[in-house]
Structures are given as C-alpha cells and as structure tokens.
Amino acid sequence: MRTKTILVATALAASIIGCATAPSGEETTAKATAMLRSSFKASGQAGLDRLDQDETQRACSALAGKAPAKDVAEKIEKLNMATIKYPADGKLLGDWKNGEKLAQEGRGKQFSDDPAGPVGANCYACHQLAPQELSYGTIGPSLYQFAKLRGYGADVQRYAYGKIYNPDAYAACSNMPRFGHQGILTEQQIKDVTALLMDPASPVNN
Amino acid sequence: MISLPLRLRTTVLRTLRRTLILAGACAVAAPAVLGQGSAVDEIAKYRAALQDGNPAELWEVRGEDIWKQQRGPKQASLQQCDLGLGPGVVKGAYARLPKYFADADRVMDLETRILWCMTTLQGISAADSRKQLYGNGNERKSDMEAMVAYVTSESRGVAMNVGLSNAKEADMYRLGEKMFYFRGGPHDFGCVTCHGDDGKRIRLQDLPNLTTKEGAQKAYTTWPAYRVSQGELRSFQWRLYDCFRQQRFPELVYGSDASIALTMFLARNANGAAFDAPAIKR
C-alpha cells in the first residue's frame, strides 16, 4: 500500500515536472520493445524470437551498463546457478586439442552462418589463452595458466565447467555468453573447452 | 573536366596497391615473429600508412555525379533534396543529422533521407530505391554508398551539432540509449558488451568505448569509411547492420527506427567534435 502510494506520487510528480517531454523509463522500455519488433527481420537461422529477453537479459539491460546492486546480483546468480547441468558421467574434461579449435572458431549462430556449419566458443575474441596465439582480445581476463595458477583439482574443474556453461551464475550480467544454458555449445564441447583450461598438458598451462 | 576523376583514380589505385602489399607483409610478419606489443605496433603503423590516400574519394566523385544526374520517372536530380538545412544545401548537412523532418513527420538519418528524396523528387518507387543499398565488393557498386560518401564528405571539418529540441528527436535519443544497452539473442550480446569499456579489443581490433564522449566522438566522426578488407565504402547504416549480425540478432532493417535511434544516440554524443569522414579502416 505504502509502496503504491509512493509510486503514484512519483508518477504524478514526473508528470508535473514534464512528462510530456521526458517519458518514464517504463514508457521508453515499452516503446523500445515495440520499435525492436518493427526494426528487425528474421534472417537465416536468426528469428525474431531472439529479441525476446529472458529474465536475466531484461534485468541486465535495465542496468544500462552499471554493475548490479548486491541483492539484484545475488538473485540473478541464483537463477542462473540453477540452470547448470553437469555431465551425467561425472567427467568434466574432454580433449583440450578440440577445445583449442573451438576457442579459435568465431562462426556460429549469426544469420549469415550456415546453420549446419560449425559453432565456435570464440574464446580468443575476448581472452588470452595459449601463449602461442598473439591475436587475442581483452574484453575478458587473461586465462593463460588458468589451472596452473588455481590448481587442477575437482573444485576448480567444476568451477571452470560451470563458468562456461553459465557465467552469470558466478558474475551477474557477465559479458560472456552462457554457452551451455543457451545451447551454443554441446556438453562434449564444453568438456573440451574445460580441458583447454584445466588439462596439465594444455598449452594454456604451459 | 573528365581528367580529374581519372587522375584521382590513378593516384588512388597506386596508393591502394601499395597498401595491400603492406597489409600482406603485416599479416605474415606480425603474428609469427613478433611479440604481442610489436604486433599491435605493426597494426598501428599499418593504419597510419592507410591514411596516405583514401579510395573513398572514388565513391565521393561518383556520388556527386549521381546526385546531380536527372534520374527516375520525374527526371529530376537530387540537388533540391532538403537534408535539413534547406533544399540544395549539402555543405555541413551531415553534421546535423539525424533530425526531425516535418514533411515526413519522422526523425531521419542521411540514408533514410536520401531514400525519401529519391521517392519524392525523382519518383523512384520505394522498392527500386532500395535495390542496391550495399556494394558487393566487385562490380556491383551501390549508388547509395556513393551518395553517402559525397554528402558526408561535404561535412568534413564541420563540428557535429545534432539537436534534440524537437520532442521526437529527444524520444529517438532515449530509444537509442535503450537500444545500446539492450542485451539479447543466444549470446546475450548488446552494443554495450563490446563498447562499454576503455581499452578493449576483439582479437587485435581496438574497440571504441561508446559510453564516453571521447569514444563516441572518435568513432562516429570516422564513419562512413572505406573498408580495405571489403573493397567498399560503408555507411553508418552498414556499420550497425553488421554489428547486429555479429551480436547474433536478426537482420536490422535498413532505415528502421532502431537504426535511426542508435544513430541519433551516437551522433548526439559526438557533438562538438569535427566530422572527419569518409575515413579509411582495415
């Protein structure tokens, strides 16, 4: 009741101050949603359903680039943690060599990509990994010596797998795609990329 | 009269050839032999070398020619097109776009306005005006990209001055800001994912931070640009279209409100900086 009164009062104040020239945030959001619908067309494998945001995307967009408040972050992380599915066979590490190929592959899911073609993890776009690859991006942190620095144990393996599966479970509104949750990579591919980070023989740890 | 474009063409092609040879050398030498810092230095040198002669001039010359030709069912040129400063005024017009146009009752960017003028002044159908919005890198060049090169070149050195005094302009700006932060699609990407921080790269490609005034100014004032990798001059509509493709979004409709809103957001944030395009980029 009290909240409602405050909301009404705020809306009233906004309309007095100048609602005609400055619509509320909600109004702009509603308009933006309608605008999106009319501004894109389905193409190749990219349908208009890609404009439908889930709860995480909606909450992260609303932050307008700012870090989420503690309670918001906790809620988003809890929501995403619940999505992580670990392999039934209990094995988290696949083939690091295939992981390296996936880390290099930037294609996949674009409307211009062959839907039957490869879908990569594209790790090097944003991260340093194997030291041999000099063409790496910096949107994400360097992952060089990932396990060498953190340990090769079961807990770190589980963290690495989970982080690739759904990074928002650990860092709300991460810039990193939720590779498992969004079905970008298969379980085997996530195992392979996890191995790239975790295998003692991987160039990442050498 | 005819010798100028020809002479220009020879100079430009010579420069381009030199540039491509240099680019090839870079691609071989940089990653294999040199360390990270040196690779970045080499790319900086390559970019500096590119500035010496810009093939965009070919598009500018062709665009001016197309602009002044009598075309379409009405056999009219676009010289009476009102780009916002009155019919026939091209100089400085781009630095004030997007803006609200009462005749169309819509906020328009340059490309949308050119399409409008083609329809209203020349009588060209909406479908025909959109037949070749992008060149394909070979013989199929785009008249639109040429006209964009011409019109934008007439604002070189002019300070960006995009207004929001009209309510629809202010509305577009706010919508553009929303669009900038909108995250979606299978990868959860939004503009902000790559353009929300200073000093970031994708692979070795530097990314402007479009949330800062300096970042928006530097980026916006250097589009359109001749893209060496594509052999085409690309407009700002193309820039947005291709960003959304990489964001794994559906296809951005040319001249759509979302495209104009984002352009408005970035152009307005670039206010005060001298416009410096068509530029040349890798």
Q: Nearest by CB to A139, from B34, B200, B257: name it.
A: B200
Q: Nearest by CB to A32, from B175, B188, B245: name it.
A: B175
Closest-approach residue (CA) in chain A for B34 = A134
List CB contacts (< 8 A) between A22 and chain B.
170
Please give the C-alpha separations between residue A197 and each of A93, A134, A143, B262, in angstroms, as whole numbers: 9, 17, 8, 38
Closest-approach residue (CA) in chain A for B197 = A139
Closest-approach residue (CA) in chain A for B254 = A39
Taking an 8 Å cut-off on Cβ atoms, the answer to whether A175 and B253 are in contact is no
Kindly state the greatest CA–CA separation across chain B. 61
Taking an 8 Å cut-off on Cβ atoms, the answer to whether B201 and A138 are in contact is yes
CB A44 within 8 A of CB A111: yes
Taking an 8 Å cut-off on Cβ atoms, the answer to whether B179 and A32 are in contact is yes
Taking an 8 Å cut-off on Cβ atoms, the answer to whether A139 and B31 are in contact is no
CA distance B60 to chain A (A): 29
What is the pLDDT averaged over residues B233-253?
A: 98
List CB contacts (< 8 A) between B186 and chain A.
50, 109, 177, 182-184
The mean pLDDT value of chain B amounts to 89
Please give the C-alpha separations between residue A62 and each of A29, A38, B181, B265, in angstroms, as whole numbers: 9, 21, 8, 17
Does pLDDT of A2 surpass 50?
A: no
Residue A7: CB atoms within 10 Å: 10
Closest-approach residue (CA) in chain A for B202 = A137
Strand B225-227 to B279-281 pairing: parallel
Q: A168-180: per-residue pLDDT in tens?
A: 999 999 999 999 9
List CB contacts (< 8 A) between A56 and chain B.
188
Q: A132-191: per-residue pLDDT in tens?
A: 999 999 999 999 999 999 999 999 999 999 999 999 999 999 999 999 999 999 999 999
Taking an 8 Å cut-off on Cβ atoms, the answer to whether B258 and A137 are in contact is no
CB B113 within 8 A of CB B120: no
Gap between the Cα atoms of B119 and B38, Å rounded: 51
Taking an 8 Å cut-off on Cβ atoms, the answer to whether A32 and B178 are in contact is yes
pLDDT for the residue B25: 36
CA distance A96 to chain B (A): 21
Q: B215-241: per-residue pLDDT in tens?
A: 999 999 999 999 999 999 999 999 999
List CB contacts (< 8 A) between B41 and chain A.
none
Q: How many residues appear in chain A?
A: 206
List CB contacts (< 8 A) between A39 and chain B.
252-253, 256-259
Does pLDDT of B7 surpass 90?
A: no
Question: Which residues of A37-184 form beta strands (DSSP E)?
Answer: 40-41
β-pair partners for B184? B189
Mutation choice for A interface testing from B33, B165, B171, B182 by most A CBs within 10 A: B182
Token representation of residue B30: 């940089």
pLDDT tier for residue B35 given thresholds of 50, 70 and 90? low
What is the pLDDT averaged over residues A188-204?
A: 98
Selecting among B26, B117, B194, B243, the annotated active-site residue is B243
β-pair partners for A43? A46
Token representation of residue B174: 């706010």
Taking an 8 Å cut-off on Cβ atoms, the answer to whether B248 and A109 are in contact is yes
Gap between the Cα atoms of B183 and B193, Å rounded: 8
ipTM: 0.89
Taking an 8 Å cut-off on Cβ atoms, the answer to whether B201 and A46 are in contact is no
**Which secondary structure element, helix H or strand E, spans residue B279, and what is its range?**
strand B279-281
For residues B138 and B2, the model is more confident at B138
What superfamily does domain B167-281 belong to in CATH? Cytochrome c-like domain (1.10.760.10)
* Known catalytic membership, residue B243: yes
Looking at chain A, the whole-number percentage of residues with pLDDT higher than 90 is 84
CA distance B6 to chain A (A): 37
Q: Nearest by CB to A35, from B36, B186, B258: name it.
A: B258
List CB contacts (< 8 A) between B171 and chain A.
23, 31
CA distance A202 to chain B (A): 20
Taking an 8 Å cut-off on Cβ atoms, the answer to whether B186 and A134 are in contact is no
What is the pLDDT averaged over residues A114-138?
A: 98
For domain A96-205, the CATH class is mainly alpha
Gap between the Cα atoms of B57 and B64, Å rounded: 11
In chain A, domain spans = 2-71, 96-205
For residues A15 and B83, the model is more confident at B83
What is the pLDDT averaged over residues B148-159?
A: 98
pLDDT for the residue B37: 66
pLDDT tier for residue A37 given thresholds of 50, 70 and 90? very high
CB B220 within 8 A of CB B243: no
In chain B, domain spans = 1-53, 167-281
pLDDT for the residue B2: 38
CA distance B76 to chain A (A): 31
Gap between the Cα atoms of B224 and B218, Å rounded: 12
Q: Which amino acid is at A173?
A: C
List CB contacts (< 8 A) between B258 and chain A.
35-36, 39-40
Token representation of residue B250: 């559906």
- B88 CB burial (10 A radius; 0-12, 13-18, 19+): exposed
List CB contacts (< 8 A) between A175 and chain B.
193
pLDDT for the residue B53: 85
Taking an 8 Å cut-off on Cβ atoms, the answer to whether A65 and B192 are in contact is yes
CA distance B157 to chain A (A): 32
